[in-house]
């Protein structure tokens, strides 16, 4: 049975989560290419950048297009993670296995 890794952005956290342990998984512990690790860091940083500490209820991307682009990058990145990690892992994005989502 594959290990389920959930890819989900959260403020000031790692974006990869162990579904069984309910704890983050440092990307450095996985066998990922440097390019994928950099993309993962950039994807998480883009999410962190929308945090408004003065008014946490006013959190939003600069535009709907920016949010859609961020989400598309997330899906593409989740697919890349699945490809690099292989059948030993099952990557979930938006709480769904990437194998069931449209490929980018």
pLDDT of residue 32: 96
Domain extent, residue 20, equals: 3-100
Provide the domain count of the chain. Answer: 1
Residue 4 has pLDDT above 60, yes or no: yes
Q: Which helix (H) or strand (E) holds 97?
A: strand 96-97
pLDDT band at residue 73 under the 50/70/90 scheme: very high
Report the phi/psi class of residue 54: left, alpha or beta, with left for phi > 0 and alpha for psi in -120 to 50: alpha
Global pTM?
Answer: 0.87
Q: What is the pLDDT of residues 91-102, one digit of tens each?
A: 999 878 887 665
- Two tokens at 19? 């579904």
The pLDDT > 90 percentage for the chain reads: 63
What number is the average pLDDT over the span 33-37?
96
Question: What is the rounded distance in angstroms from the CA atom of residue 26 to the CA atom of residue 17?
Answer: 9
What number is the average pLDDT over the span 60-74?
95
């Amino acid at each position: 049975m594959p290990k389920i890794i959930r890819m989900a952005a959260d403020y000031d956290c790692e974006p990869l989560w162990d579904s069984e342990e309910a704890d983050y998984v440092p990307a450095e512990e996985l066998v990922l290419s440097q390019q994928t690790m950099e993309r993962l860091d950039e994807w998480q940083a883009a999410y962190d950048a929308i945090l408004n500490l003065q008014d946490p209820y006013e959190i939003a991307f600069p535009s709907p297009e920016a949010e859609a682009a961020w989400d598309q990058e997330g899906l593409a990145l989740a697919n890349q993670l699945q490809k690099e990690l292989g059948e030993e892992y099952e990557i979930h994005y938006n709480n769904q296995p990437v194998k069931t989502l449209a490929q980018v």
